[in-house]
Amino acid sequence: MSQAEAITDTGEIESVSGPVVTATDLDAQMNDVVYVGDEGLMGEVIEIEGDITTIQVYEETSGIGPGEPVENTGEPLTVDLGPGMLDSIYDGVQRPLDVLEDEMGAFLDRGVDAPGIDLEKEWEFEPAVEEGDEVEAGDVVGSVDETVSIEHKVLVPPNSEGGEVVSVESGSFTVEETVVELDTGEEIQMHQEWPVRRQRPTVEKQTPTEPLVSGQRILDGLFPLAKGGTAAIPGPFGSGKTVTQQSLAKFADADIVVYIGCGERGNEMTEVIEDFPELPDPQTGNPLMARTCLIANTSNMPVAARESCIYTGITIGEYYRDMGYDVALMADSTSRWAEAMREISSRLEEMPGEEGYPAYLAARLSQFYERAGYFENQNGSEGSISVIGAVSPPGGDFSEPVTQNTLRIVKTFWALDSDLAERRHFPAINWDESYSLYKDQLDPYFEENVVDDWSEQRQWAVDILDEEAELEEIVQLVGKDALPEDQQLTLEVARYIREAWLQQNALHDVDRYCPPEKTYAILSGIKSFHDEAFEALDAGVPVDEITAIDAAPRLNRLGTTPDDEYEEEVEEIEQQISEQLRELY
Amino acid sequence: MKEYQTITEVSGPLVYVETDEPIGYDEIVEIETPDGEVKRGQVLESSQGFVAIQVFEGTEGIGQDASVRFLGETLKMPVTEDLLGRVLDGSGNPIDGGPDIVPDERLDIVGEAINPHAREYPEEFIQTGVSAIDGMNTLVRGQKLPIFSGSGLPHSDLALQIARQASVPEEEEAEGEDSEFAVVFGAMGITAEEANEFMEDFERTGALERSVVFMNLADDPAVERTVTPRMALTTAEYLAFEKDYHVLVILTDMTNYCEALREIGAAREEVPGRRGYPGYMYTDLAQLYERAGRIEGREGSVTQIPILTMPGDDDTHPIPDLTGYITEGQIMMNRDLNSQGVTPPVNVLPSLSRLMDDGIGEGLTRDDHGDVSDQLYAAYAEGEELRDLVNIVGREALSERDNRYLDFADRFEEEFVDQGFRTSRSIDETLDLGWELLSMFPKAELNRVDEDLIEEYYVEDAASEEEAAAAD
Ligand SMILES: Nc1ncnc2c1ncn2[C@@H]1O[C@H](COP(=O)(O)OP(=O)(O)OP(=O)(O)O)[C@@H](O)[C@H]1O
Ligand SMILES: [Mg+2]
């Protein structure tokens, strides 16, 4: 949010109740940004009724009282778009937290505004057009090296009429200086603004066919997400939503990552700020931070800014999509966002819907997820935004409104499970309940780029896990030893699938990222154990002897075997398994 | 200062007053009853000509003849290093008969959020001497780690044990006393008996000298409970971030705090959230719990151990649920373990410390810590699960492997967890004990432990020792 807005009208505070303030005598429109009180706290108009304007305030309102002024900027809540957003951390209304720290110290005071991008910094602008070129909205007129990883494309604003280039600059400029001028008199700078609640235009949404490769075995292997797809991760506290989101932010093969900490812990954001500059992006080897934009509106920061942080994040994402990049956006947690809506709605004394959430909850959720997709952009390039939303259901009960409304929209569902988490089976994604509706449309990609029997092998694993689930019910009644030998063996194979393949330690330097080839290879190793073991069983070897061979447990260590060694290791294990089993008959 | 005698309504803890000047939101109010008693309150809603006030000390005696004064400022806590050693009531007034407090500063009790960019990630191991915590759910400086308990369970004993034993090992050797924590203790609605238990322990161990105690007891006004933790945390932040102390904040019982929130919400006729608690309880609790941590460039730290009793031992109840969603893990007390006499009765399975991973390992605790705790978890979980089955089919129907897990689960509870409230174990002792138990299993079974670590720490003759013991 930049600060230069002119004041269009001034009114007076009528009442204050937490983050909700009403004003009288204010000429305003819905969603106008206003400055509230003597300290000029930033707020947004959310209701107009007769002479009374209701405002949600993005900062603490303690001590603010009736009679103080309210100034209207006459502009909706916007974000500043331009080079400098990557490697940044913002609050929910795009104020850079490092700038705020410089200005007010370690604690967040109020009444300080700061532009989302550095207006003074000079960037090396490299033009992509010449005088006489015709350009239209969305076209690339030049670029700057924003970070070591990302070339920032300077675009004709989406709502421009276009025209012929009459002058173009090259060299060092600030984001406010004009770099291209059109015959219509329009001046193009590297800085744009865009209202956060409005989707940036595109040509069309396409069917996604490429996976967002996550480096997580259970996700890539069983429940893949598409580039441009949507996913929800619901789960009770402590089940692994944040760890999963962070793993995706670190390892997913996106060009740009927008990570929104929405109403969650301060330390979690600090962890990202400390880790990401150190960790390499698996694709480029550059620091992860060079492709990342962080938005942190932690649980103790003002609740209205929590409501807006989701929009701030997705608008930034859309801007990079317009440049033709694949963007992955994580929102942790969408439940806190929904609760912010609920809190404000109840202060407005709106008619509550289910569990006190406003009646428009479902609509807001779907508007948000609708902004995800694989798009043809205005400039003809293709770009995507994948959206992954964490959901924090009260009591871990998925029947509540936020989970249910989210499930109706998203196409990938990663259900976290407290039982698995308690057993320290991580990621605690329940393979029975989770699903991906992209699976079939992504198979061709995996089969072409990884291995041709990708989907067959996945089906094999799914079948074994299904069989295990059925057998477990019997085991609960009679114990494992009462089962026929072949079924006991199936259980053993299923155990390897769970322990060696599904489990993945996000905290282990090697295991935390597993390329799809390795995902496939580990499962192959387990499958050859399965095949050999059943041959041995058929040949009359007792199941206890089969399961006692010491080569098989080595499968459990494949996850932590480095990328350049696992192939050899799988081969060796397969060979040993085969030898050891054949010795038994 | 203007006095108003314009109270229009008194309802539960709320008082509504007509005013003819603007009153700031959250401002402090004094209400004087005709018999001279002065009560304090806070502006909950301020409109042109009209305010709603929440009274801390109960509204008995307040009528239309009471006079109301608006103090023109929000609630402040007078802070000074001299607070150490003092006992205050739930609103911060001394009740120990000591001298008046001469404040160094008066700080707003609402507190401002720490800028996430200014935080330093907590990763210094705190040795509590309790194996179930140090070994399995390690606490670090600047963490918020609540104890989830049930009524009648010995959570106070555990909290006291932690307050007594907590230290940061390395510094202990280097500088002696410096590694001790200052303790800020905030009691909300606890019984006089419980309060005495704490006070006696503080006095007996000399901990009182480095403590600040805030006492709101069961028969003190409920609404005051919404202020007590804020007073305590403001004091803690002052000691930590301005006076370089490492502060351990114990808040008990958060359940009473939440009940007070519910009461105020009901009086205001707000749309209630789950089970009648206010819809904003998550945000409200976060504004307390997030006041823990470390700040870049400052010496001190605030570590929080809030205690709550889960109504009906139900961890999906909104109080533990919302707490768990905010804090960095939880220590779960368990009724069954308690009746088996395990002290502290900590069930490690649903317990969690999310900041553990960065606080342990080589150079911090010991290289094998992470793997040992993973393996202990996995093995105990498996043993626990088998217990259900054993009730149905009996031990004989289970394989040798399964029986070993059952034995392990028993020994884990009896030897690892059940250490008593008076024993303090070093982290080495805790981890060595872990190895002793893990060595009941053949090496191949220890798939969560690095092979090199197995070679280094595995206790070769443990299995045979155990067999010998069983044969006796
Ligand atoms: N893949 C994983 N590998 C190793 N540990 C994990 C993994 N996933 C989760 N964990 C463990 O679980 C703990 C809790 O995970 P996390 O913080 O992601 O939970 P959450 O679902 O985000 O909870 P909340 O809703 O309270 O924020 C982590 O601190 C970590 O110890
Ligand atoms: Mg989380």
Contact between chains at B279 and A339 (C-beta distance less than 8 A): yes
- Going by CA atoms, what residue is nearest to atom 28 of ligand 1? B354
Domain that includes residue B211, residue range:
77-359
Residue B36: which CATH number?
2.40.10.170
What lines the ligand 1 site, CB under 6 Å? Answer: A 235, 237-243, 264, 392, 426-427, 504-507; B 325, 352, 354
Domain end marker among B330, B359, B388 = B359
In-domain check, residue A117: no
Residue A138: which CATH number?
2.40.50.100
Contact between chains at A17 and B377 (C-beta distance less than 8 A): no
- B13 min Cα distance to partner chain A (Å): 17
Domain end marker among B22, B41, B73 = B73
Q: Would you state the pLDDT for residue A249?
A: 95
pLDDT surpasses 80 at A4: no
Model ipTM value = 0.91
Partner residue opposite B115 with nearest CB, options A107, A267, A339: A107
Residue A233: which CATH number?
3.40.50.300
Per-residue pLDDT, averaged over B7-21, amounts to: 90
Q: Return the ligand 1 atom nearest residue A504 CA.
A: 1
Query: φ, ψ for residue B164 (rounded to 5)?
Result: -75, -45
In-domain check, residue A4: no
Are B83 and B19 in a shared domain? no
Range name among A37-51, A104-118, B159-173, B343-357 with the lowest pLDDT average? B159-173
Q: Would you state the pLDDT for residue B221?
A: 83
Residue A496: which CATH number?
1.10.1140.10
What residues of chain A lie within 8 A of the CB of B274, using their CB? Answer: 355, 394
In-domain check, residue B364: no
Are A180 and A215 in a shared domain? no
B295/A contact by beta carbon, under 8 A: yes
* Mean confidence (pLDDT) of chain A: 93
- Of residues B399 and B298, the one with the higher pLDDT is B298
Task: Give B248's contacts (C-beta < 8 A, 6+ positions apart).
Answer: B162, B163, B166, B181, B182, B183, B184, B303, B304, B305
The string of pLDDT tens digits covering residues A139-164 is: 999 999 999 999 999 999 999 999 99
Q: Would you state the pLDDT for residue A317?
A: 97
Are A430 and A471 in a shared domain? no
Q: Would you state the pLDDT for residue B265?
A: 85
Chain A CA closest to residue B142: A267
Are B192 and B262 in a shared domain? yes
pLDDT surpasses 60 at B467: no
Per-residue pLDDT, averaged over A449-473, amounts to: 95
CA distance A23 to A55: 8
Per-residue pLDDT, averaged over B62-79, amounts to: 91
Domain end marker among A39, A54, A75 = A75
Q: Would you state the pLDDT for residue B439?
A: 95
Chain B CA closest to residue A342: B279
Where does residue B465 rank: exposed (0-12), middle (13-18), buried (19+ CB within 10 A)? middle
Are B137 and B278 in a shared domain? yes
Residue ranges of the alpha helices (H) in A87-147? 97-104
pLDDT surpasses 80 at A271: yes
State both tokens at A561.
């075997």
Interface of A with B in 487-516 (CB under 8 A): 499, 507
In-domain check, residue A208: yes
Q: Would you state the pLDDT for residue B463?
A: 56
pLDDT surpasses 80 at B173: no
How far CA A119 is from CA of A80, A147, A220, B392, in Å, comes to 10, 17, 41, 72
In-domain check, residue A513: yes
Are B309 and B352 in a shared domain? yes
CA distance B86 to A563: 59
Are A296 and A397 in a shared domain? yes
In-domain check, residue A216: yes
Are A171 and A282 in a shared domain? no
CA distance A369 to A373: 9
Q: Would you state the pLDDT for residue B180?
A: 67
Q: Would you state the pLDDT for residue B466?
A: 53
Looking only at the bridges linking them, the beta strands covering A134-135 and A122-127 are unpaired
A131 C-beta neighbours (distance < 10 Å), count: 12
Q: Would you state the pLDDT for residue B391?
A: 84
- Count of domains observed in chain B: 3
The string of pLDDT tens digits covering residues B196-218 is: 989 999 899 888 999 999 999 99
The string of pLDDT tens digits covering residues A290-307 is: 999 999 999 998 888 898
Are B175 and B278 in a shared domain? yes
Q: Would you state the pLDDT for residue B154?
A: 95
pLDDT surpasses 80 at A568: yes
Q: Would you state the pLDDT for residue B171?
A: 54
Are A179 and A243 in a shared domain? no
Domain end marker among B20, B39, B73 = B73
In-domain check, residue B440: yes
> In this structure, are residues A303 and B283 in contact, taking their beta carbons and an 8 Å threshold?
yes
Confidence band of A475 (pLDDT split at 50, 70, 90): confident
State both tokens at A578.
């085969």
The closest ligand to the CA of B359 turns out to be 1
pLDDT surpasses 70 at B174: no
User: How far does the centroid of ligand 1 lie from the alpha carbon of residue A243, in Å?
Assistant: 5
In-domain check, residue A109: no
The string of pLDDT tens digits covering residues A379-414 is: 999 999 999 999 999 999 999 999 999 999 999 999
Confidence band of B272 (pLDDT split at 50, 70, 90): confident
Partner residue opposite B447 with nearest CB, options A61, A98, A499: A499
Are B99 and B66 in a shared domain? no
Are A181 and A211 in a shared domain? no
Are A153 and A247 in a shared domain? no
Task: Say which residue the tokens 């989210």 belong to.
Answer: A406
pLDDT surpasses 90 at B230: yes
Are B69 and B206 in a shared domain? no
Per-residue pLDDT, averaged over A77-102, amounts to: 93
A204/B contact by beta carbon, under 8 A: no
Are A392 and A489 in a shared domain? no
Are B306 and B433 in a shared domain? no
Q: Would you state the pLDDT for residue B472?
A: 45
Per-residue pLDDT, averaged over A211-233, amounts to: 97
Are A303 and A379 in a shared domain? yes
Are A283 and A417 in a shared domain? yes
Residue B378: which CATH number?
1.10.1140
Contact between chains at A352 and B44 (C-beta distance less than 8 A): no
Are B216 and B289 in a shared domain? yes
A263/B contact by beta carbon, under 8 A: yes
Range name among A346-355, B243-252, B355-364 with the lowest pLDDT average? A346-355
CA distance A73 to A33: 6
Are B107 and B49 in a shared domain? no
Per-residue pLDDT, averaged over A230-241, amounts to: 95
Domain end marker among A134, A166, A190 = A190
Partnered with residue A329 across adjacent β-strands are: A258, A387
Are A223 and A338 in a shared domain? yes
Among A267, A480, A560, the residue to mutate for chain B (most B Cβ within 10 A)? A267
pLDDT surpasses 80 at B175: no
User: How far does the centroid of ligand 1 lie from the alpha carbon of residue B122, in Å?
Assistant: 16
Are A555 and A475 in a shared domain? yes
Partner residue opposite A479 with nearest CB, options B44, B354, B393: B393
Helix (H, G, I), strand (E, B) or coil at B72: strand
Q: What is the DSSP string of B324-392?
A: HHHSSEEEEE-HHHHHTT-SS-EEEEEEEETTHHHH-STTTS-TTHHHHHHHHHHHHHHHHHHHHHHHH
Are B118 and B87 in a shared domain? yes
Residue B171: which CATH number?
3.40.50.12240
User: How far does the centroid of ligand 2 lie from the alpha carbon of residue A277, in Å?
Assistant: 21
Confidence band of B448 (pLDDT split at 50, 70, 90): confident
In-domain check, residue A480: yes
Q: Would you state the pLDDT for residue B465?
A: 54
Partner residue opposite B25 with nearest CB, options A63, A98, A479: A63
Are B68 and B85 in a shared domain? no
Domain that includes residue A163, residue range:
123-190
The string of pLDDT tens digits covering residues A8-24 is: 889 999 999 888 899 99
State both tokens at B95.
């009740």
Per-residue pLDDT, averaged over A498-521, amounts to: 95
Predicted model pTM: 0.94
CA distance B428 to B432: 6
State both tokens at A155.
């675009």
